[in-house]
A and B are shown apart, each in its own frame.
Chain A
């Protein structure tokens, strides 16, 4: 769906922020982007969004060259949810916030109304339709950011640290929503420091370091190598660590652990 080839980018022409970035995001997958602060994650997402343009290399979306497309063009295909929802919420009601994107993209009135209804329901925000966004709790604001992005019917949704500042209950709700949207066919790129989320949800993982891709593959492949994971400034996910401590085969999710432990018990019985 989205293909980046030999991308290079620099803010000041002296220090390269991104070098030799080649990656493919496939339709319908959840792909994770990880790495230390300053490794180039945000720059890469800004580049994909068309907020900045690459110095070298090419970007293709569904086979079409979009390397030099601007943000307004890319907004038709890609939705972006900021880490801090306050940065993108500005309308006076939830309803107005959601319909702003489709209105700017030239949707018809009927389409806008339909989209509003669909995303309010999908994000469980129907009850908050007339609320002022700034008065909502952080977790609900985050869901509203997602709703606003979804209203423009993007093919790819970029979530930048979506669980930051959320309590564990809201975090669970948000991840469940992400999973549901993905099952409905939405491609998701999640930028996160939380390896537990990546281990449980991502099919592919890209790790950046100093603007270069240091890993591109299945999360399980990286997490099986604890030394490399730590070298890249990442935490080994809890499930992986626990399965190791318990002498189980590598587990990526809590459910895996329970299943394998149950299996081991049954064997002993």
Chain B
């Protein structure tokens, strides 16, 4: 997988939330424009400030951003006292479109001395683009001399943009508290992911760890393409696995390549017998009966369940059920196998067997395997890569040695470091 910063934001208050907030802020902008004082004939452009704030609060699509710009341009045209008010119909849509693009991709979403300065920078940039375009059109249409344009009009735009910079930084936080309190609270919950920087090579065996609630399952679901419709995910770039661009691939296409076994794997088993369970998925995929029988025999052998075909699923042990769930995924020719805490409810003998099987599948069939796991003693010798997450963020991804060392040094989920490694890392000179 390549780069990656994914954020989830729930669609709260319906799909027209962005429209409501924008309308309200633009109306406030018009009122403030009429009543606010000016300094030396220069005043803050409330119109631009308000639509920039609306874009930051809602992170709309580019189309919605353009729409916000057009409405704002109309409002400005009607209320402007400038020599060429119609220039607003070009300058505002252009600036709002660029602003929406920047906001959506979080280009300026960074901190300076622990303060997020995105509002200041974004208001400054948007005002400068809008104002610059406006005065350029005015210069061209009204044939204003170049010195006036360069030494009067552009510096004025710069000063207005600086006013906007200060006002944006001051007003954004209260506005965010008023309009996004619901979202902000929810973003702290288990669905929130950020700073994901992960590369899972094809045919590798990767393990994801972190305390419950760290975001492991959310990340696995994202990679499996099982994002819920009620999430409006904002992401800086794309996740791809085995050269598949996850976020740009249809879910039905992903399902053919990614197989996921949930922690509650029993919930995935829906028929009575082992035979039926595997045939069920293949039949739904449109496979002919002859091919189903052939493929079923192949995968049952792969997971060591040959001879159990007629067994009732309810009579199987936890480990056998887990094997069956894996077999169903393999039957569908999954190139990538994702398992969420596969041994959580299995005894130690079963746990060792499950991981032995997964490694065998990984080696023999070059299936890419990604597992979420707490008990690292079972996987420390198997994994090509270990990834640790904490509070929705990916903290480290690397070799088992490097990752455990990081967890030990940075005290990120140190409880999960297997005893053997803990002693090695603490005593340093001892080979365990």
Mark A residues whose CB is within 8 Å of B.
36-37, 137-139, 164-172, 193-196, 233-235, 238-239, 241-242, 245-246, 254, 257-258, 261
CB-defined contacts of A169 to chain B, threshold 8 Å: 211, 413, 415
Which residue of A is nearest B426, CB measured?
A258
Q: How far is the CB of B250 from chain A (nearest CB, A)?
A: 34
- Is there a chain A Cβ closer than 8 Å to B85's Cβ? no
- Is there a chain A Cβ closer than 8 Å to B345's Cβ? yes
Q: How far is the CB of A211 from chain B (nearest CB, A)?
A: 17
Interface string of B185-219 (1 = CB under 8 A from A): 00000000000000000000000001111000000
Q: Are B212 and A138 in contact (CB under 8 A)?
A: yes
- Is there a chain A Cβ closer than 8 Å to B359's Cβ? no
Instruction: Give the distance in Å from the alpha carbon of A222 to the alpha carbon of B374 in the complex.
Output: 27
- Is there a chain A Cβ closer than 8 Å to B348's Cβ? yes
- Given contacts A137-B212, A193-B348, A239-B419, 4 further A-B pairs with CB under 8 A are A193-B347, A195-B348, A242-B419, A245-B432
Q: Are B212 and A37 in contact (CB under 8 A)?
A: no
Instruction: Give the distance in Å from the alpha carbon of A242 to the alpha carbon of B419 in the complex.
Output: 9
Q: Are B415 and A164 in contact (CB under 8 A)?
A: no
Q: Are A238 and B420 in contact (CB under 8 A)?
A: yes
Residue of B211, B375, B423 touching A254 (CB-CB under 8 A): B423
Q: Are B348 and A170 in contact (CB under 8 A)?
A: no
Which residue of A is nearest B417, CB measured?
A168
Which residue of A is nearest B377, CB measured?
A238
Q: Are A246 and B432 in contact (CB under 8 A)?
A: yes
Q: Lowest 6 CB-CB distances: which A-B pairs, in order? A: A168-B415, A168-B416, A238-B419, A235-B348, A167-B212, A193-B347
Residue of A37, A171, A195 touching B415 (CB-CB under 8 A): A171
Q: How far is the CB of B23 from chain A (nearest CB, A)?
A: 36
Q: Are A168 and B347 in contact (CB under 8 A)?
A: no
> Considering the complex, which residues of chain B in the window 245-286 have a beta carbon less than 8 Å from any beta carbon of chain A?
263
Q: Are A242 and B432 in contact (CB under 8 A)?
A: yes
- Is there a chain A Cβ closer than 8 Å to B177's Cβ? no
CB < 8 Å A-B pair total = 69
Interchain residue pairs with CB less than 8 A apart (10):
A37-B317, A137-B212, A139-B212, A167-B211, A167-B416, A172-B415, A193-B348, A241-B420, A246-B432, A258-B426
Mark B residues whose CB is within 8 Å of A.
210-213, 263, 317-318, 341, 344-345, 347-349, 374-375, 377, 413, 415-416, 418-420, 422-423, 426-427, 430, 432
Instruction: Give the distance in Å from the alpha carbon of A22 to the alpha carbon of B317 in the complex.
Output: 29
Q: How far is the CB of B196 from chain A (nearest CB, A)?
A: 20
Instruction: Give the distance in Å from the alpha carbon of A199 to the alpha carbon of B423 in the complex.
Output: 17
CB-defined contacts of B430 to chain A, threshold 8 Å: 246, 261
CB-defined contacts of B413 to chain A, threshold 8 Å: 168-169
CB-defined contacts of B416 to chain A, threshold 8 Å: 167-168
Q: How far is the CB of A235 from chain B (nearest CB, A)?
A: 4
CB-defined contacts of B432 to chain A, threshold 8 Å: 242, 245-246
Which residue of B is nearest A254, CB measured?
B419
Q: How far is the CB of B234 from chain A (nearest CB, A)?
A: 26
Q: Are B418 and A238 in contact (CB under 8 A)?
A: yes
Residue of A167, A238, A258 touching B374 (CB-CB under 8 A): A167
Instruction: Give the distance in Å from the alpha carbon of A235 to the alpha carbon of B318 in the complex.
Output: 18
Which residue of A is nearest B349, CB measured?
A233
CB-defined contacts of B423 to chain A, threshold 8 Å: 242, 254, 257-258, 261
Instruction: Give the distance in Å from the alpha carbon of A171 to the alpha carbon of B213 in the complex.
Output: 15
Instruction: Give the distance in Å from the alpha carbon of A158 to the alpha carbon of B388 in the complex.
Output: 34
Instruction: Give the distance in Å from the alpha carbon of A36 to the alpha carbon of B374 in the complex.
Output: 22
Which residue of A is nearest B348, CB measured?
A235
Instruction: Give the distance in Å from the alpha carbon of A134 to the alpha carbon of B212 in the complex.
Output: 16
Q: Are B212 and A170 in contact (CB under 8 A)?
A: yes
Residue of A37, A165, A239 touching B347 (CB-CB under 8 A): A37
Q: How far is the CB of B350 from chain A (nearest CB, A)?
A: 8
Q: How far is the CB of A174 from chain B (nearest CB, A)?
A: 12
Which residue of B is nearest A238, CB measured?
B419
CB-defined contacts of B422 to chain A, threshold 8 Å: 254
Instruction: Give the distance in Å from the alpha carbon of A246 to the alpha carbon of B432 in the complex.
Output: 7
Instruction: Give the distance in Å from the alpha carbon of A196 to the alpha carbon of B415 in the complex.
Output: 14
Instruction: Give the distance in Å from the alpha carbon of A238 to the alpha carbon of B432 in the complex.
Output: 11
Instruction: Give the distance in Å from the alpha carbon of A184 to the alpha carbon of B369 in the complex.
Output: 46
Instruction: Give the distance in Å from the alpha carbon of A196 to the alpha carbon of B211 in the complex.
Output: 20
CB-defined contacts of B348 to chain A, threshold 8 Å: 193-195, 234-235
CB-defined contacts of A165 to chain B, threshold 8 Å: 263, 341, 344-345
Instruction: Give the distance in Å from the alpha carbon of A167 to the alpha carbon of B214 in the complex.
Output: 11
CB-defined contacts of B210 to chain A, threshold 8 Å: 167
CB-defined contacts of A137 to chain B, threshold 8 Å: 212-213
